[in-house]
Structure 1
Amino acid sequence: MSYIGVEATSTYFPRNIETAAILSVKTGIPEHIIIEKFGLYEKHVADDTMQASDLAVAAARPILEKIDPLTIDVVIYFGSPHKDYNVWSCAPKIQYELGAKNAYAFEIMNVSSCFPIALKVAKDMLKSDESIENILLVGGCKESQIIDYHNPRSRFMFNFADGGTAALVKRGARMSRILESSFITDGSFHHDVLIPAGGSKHFASIETVEKRQHYIDVVDPASMKERLDPVSVPNFEKVIRQALQKSGLSPQDIKVLLPLHTKRSMFKELLSSLNLIEDQAIYLDHYGHMSALDPCIGLHFASEQGKLQSGDIAVAVSAGTGYTWAATVIEWKGEKE
């Protein structure tokens, strides 16, 4: 049987590392709090020579050492919306840099929730168009750059980090099969997390720069927390259970959970709601949160670390401000040429 699945994954992390001790100095938050509460020992931070597109390109190169770039039919960028330039698509640059001359390229963006969505988009494209054989999903993140450590309203985003990742989705995949997905959007959160200036509403000016309005901010943290806390983990659990049910499975079938990086208490609460233990999940406490990249990076690590064997079930799950929760189920095959 010919499956549509993820055939290969890869990652890239810049060399520069910020430890919890360094972040403690930057934020004034005790080191043990950063480790225990934020769930972060260290994270990678890119220098001025690497932008989001460069991180994505660097991540994808190992995959294209195994497959001819000319056989790539589509390149989809699913990474951070904070890219090299504003009002600019980095997908064409990535396609060009990778030598995927026969591919058309575009972007999908739903902030941190985008990888499970990208898996569904790629799967559906392959199902509906027989001329497509290989889709390369690529993501880059340089969101450490948009943190204002002096702004306590953005405290929950101090784990933002940098990196790149890629996944090859293809027809006739031997390593895995993409099963079903589930998504929830609650648009009542649309105005809670944003960069206040630089868009059409507050165009960049001397005043917006002086007011430090070009960093990510939370408009009203107390209000967001009051509305988000009661629904966040339940919505994570709901999309996971729905995606599994649509796949003919249940939470008992999960071998590895691939979540975005969150504070440790939320991570533990989600595991508890699914009756999973920490060893059944990839927690990026030495990498931090990289927008939509986290579940793809988790899938790469799970494969590398031997956490997935033939027949195992993994669930990529994430959430993005706005607010969208997303989950896609992956059945691991592990068959090699």
Structure 2
Amino acid sequence: MGIGVEATGVYFSPTVETAHELAGKTGIPESVIIEKFGLYEKHVSDETMHASDLAIAAGREILKQHDPLSIDVVIYFGSPHKDYYVWSSAPKIQHELGTKNAYAFEMMNVSSCFPIALKVAKDMIRSDSSIDRILLVGGCKESQIVDYANPRSRFMFNFADGGAAALVSREAANSEILESHIVTDGSFHDDVMVPAGGSIHFAGSENVEQGMHYIDVKDPASMKERLDPVSIPNFELVIRKALEKSGYTPHQVKLLLPLHTKRSMLNELLDSLGIPEQNAMYLDHHGHMSSLDPCIGLHFAQERRLLNPGDIAVTVSAGTGYTWAATVLRWEG
């Protein structure tokens, strides 16, 4: 047994928004939302559930079978759109989950964070003999920051809500975390953001009136022109490099666990890697939940018994800014 993911948990709010409802909001035909956006429906949280609550709910699913007092570290890896501005959700999550022996902190790299969080957890356990179990928890309520009337934010219309968690253990029976590869191209740092609320455009009524509290793309045409030539190559690069470091090739991948993106992008990536479509987890009934997608995909893979001992799975994601990240798992359970 080695350092690996011992258990996963997910949580979704009961409210579902369908492709038909999104078509009414956006003016985009329902068929386009289903076929091109790759989305039949997504979960949307009400005013009682925020990012921390969604993370807590997912963490509780794991702690039904594992002692909260056995957790040494709690790491929040979810969306930066949280309950409050300039506020850490990790202490609240640690308290509500009853993980009294754990210290807690946050990681944030928007949508790319789960493969990075797996690497960080593995490296922490390897380097510190006092740490045996790390609980990774994330929440996302990014459906709330999408302005469906803004065509510049079109590629973010699949943003959804949910919670996900993964227990990383020193002696995991179910899987082993192998190697990772991460690439950042900081030339995209200024393309996607919520303009208001920070120190440049401090919160004020005029910001709200101008819709600056929603996520926006400064210049979609410019971003597309620069991003299209590098996006798939960088996805492919991090996957191939992570596999190479782990001693494997793409043809040995049993399951690819990517972020939710448009179908054409996923298909192009699969073709470039030579991975069959049925060997990828696609969240077309859940949408994109910031960094949570690969963790949720791993949970569904376990539920559906898609992984057998010796199988190789790759978690892969990308976050605006722009960072691409992949981490390889060998299934043992």
Q: TM-score, normalised by structure 2?
A: 1.00
Instruction: Note the C-alpha offset of 1:277.
Output: 1.5
Partner Cα distance (2:195, 2:6) in 1: 40
* CA displacement 1:258-295 (0-9 Å, x = unmatched): 00000110011011111111210100000000000000
User: Secondary structure of the equivalent of 2:278?
Assistant: helix
Residue type at the aligned position of 2:215: I
Correspondences of 1:244-259 after superposition (within 5 Å):
244-259=243-258
User: Secondary structure of the equivalent of 1:200?
Assistant: coil
Name the structure 1 match of 2:177. Answer: 178
Residue type at the aligned position of 2:99: A
Instruction: Note the C-alpha offset of 1:329.
Output: 0.1
Partner Cα distance (1:105, 1:177) in 2: 23
Name the structure 1 match of 2:6. Answer: 7
Partner Cα distance (1:95, 1:166) in 2: 13
Name the structure 2 match of 1:284. Answer: 283
Residue type at the aligned position of 1:112: S
Bigger mean CA deviation after superposition, 234-243 or 57-66: 57-66
Partner Cα distance (1:179, 1:301) in 2: 20
Residue type at the aligned position of 2:273: L
Instruction: Note the C-alpha offset of 1:252.
Output: 1.0
Partner Cα distance (2:160, 2:67) in 1: 31
Instruction: Note the C-alpha offset of 1:41.
Output: 0.2
| Alignment gaps of 5+ in structure 2 | none
Correspondences of 1:171-320 after superposition (within 5 Å):
171-320=170-319
Correspondences of 1:161-176 after superposition (within 5 Å):
161-176=160-175
The percentage of aligned residue pairs carrying the same residue is 74
Partner Cα distance (2:208, 2:296) in 1: 34
Partner Cα distance (2:24, 2:265) in 1: 25
Partner Cα distance (2:251, 2:158) in 1: 30
User: Secondary structure of the equivalent of 1:309?
Assistant: coil
Name the structure 2 match of 1:158. Answer: 157
Residue type at the aligned position of 2:265: M
Partner Cα distance (1:321, 1:82) in 2: 14
User: Secondary structure of the equivalent of 1:222?
Assistant: helix
The question of 1:78 aligning with 2:77 is answered yes
Name the structure 1 match of 2:138. Answer: 139
Instruction: Note the C-alpha offset of 1:206.
Output: 1.5
Residue type at the aligned position of 1:299: L
* CA displacement 1:6-39 (0-9 Å, x = unmatched): 0000100000000000000000100000001100
Partner Cα distance (1:25, 1:151) in 2: 14
User: Secondary structure of the equivalent of 1:282?
Assistant: coil
Aligned length: 333
Bigger mean CA deviation after superposition, 319-328 or 2-11: 2-11
Residue type at the aligned position of 1:162: D
Partner Cα distance (2:48, 2:268) in 1: 39
Name the structure 2 match of 1:37. Answer: 36
Instruction: Note the C-alpha offset of 1:303.
Output: 1.1
Instruction: Note the C-alpha offset of 1:107.
Output: 0.3
Name the structure 1 match of 2:102. Answer: 103
Instruction: Note the C-alpha offset of 1:94.
Output: 0.3
Residue type at the aligned position of 1:28: G
* CA displacement 1:204-241 (0-9 Å, x = unmatched): 11111110100000000000000000000110000000
Partner Cα distance (1:312, 1:247) in 2: 13
Q: TM-score, normalised by structure 1?
A: 0.98
Moved over 3 A (4+): none
* CA displacement 1:87-113 (0-9 Å, x = unmatched): 000000000000000000000000000
Instruction: Note the C-alpha offset of 1:186.
Output: 0.1
Residue type at the aligned position of 1:50: M
Partner Cα distance (1:199, 1:257) in 2: 36
Name the structure 2 match of 1:323. Answer: 322
Partner Cα distance (2:109, 2:210) in 1: 27
User: Secondary structure of the equivalent of 2:229?
Assistant: coil
Instruction: Note the C-alpha offset of 1:306.
Output: 1.1
Partner Cα distance (1:184, 1:102) in 2: 34
Residue type at the aligned position of 1:325: W
Instruction: Note the C-alpha offset of 1:69.
Output: 0.3
Partner Cα distance (1:278, 1:294) in 2: 17
